[in-house]
């Protein structure tokens, strides 16, 4: 399963969001922010599986690309 990661420049680096999993993380560089998001995704999914909960349903990528809150931000996947 692939998850969209939205990256936003901040004063101290980059914020990384994973909208489907309600994850927000941070890194000093784009790479560091992406890696922090990847670790958070892995931990989050493990928690869902361990507790027997359903993983939230993924939305189409276009939903996020059309979101005005994400206008002019960077996107990547994990």
CATH code where residue 56 lies: 3.30.160.250
Q: What is the DSSP letter of 3?
A: -
Is the full-model pTM beyond 0.75?
yes
The total of structural domains in the chain comes to 1
pLDDT digits (tens, 9 = 90+) for 12-36: 999 999 999 999 999 999 999 999 9
Determine the pLDDT at residue 42: 97
pLDDT digits (tens, 9 = 90+) for 42-74: 999 999 999 999 999 888 888 988 999 998 999
Which residues share a beta bridge with 29? none
Q: Which domain holds residue 61?
A: 4-77
Determine the pLDDT at residue 64: 87
Average pLDDT, rounded, for the chain:
94
């Amino acid at each position: 399963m692939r998850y969209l990661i939205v990256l936003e420049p901040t004063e101290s680096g980059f914020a990384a969001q994973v909208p489907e999993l309600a994850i927000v993380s941070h890194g000093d560089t784009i790479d560091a922010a992406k890696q922090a998001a990847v670790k958070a995704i892995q931990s989050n999914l493990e928690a869902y599986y361990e507790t027997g909960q359903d993983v939230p349903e993924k939305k189409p990528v276009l939903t996020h690309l059309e979101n005005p809150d994400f206008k002019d931000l960077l996107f990547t996947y994990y």
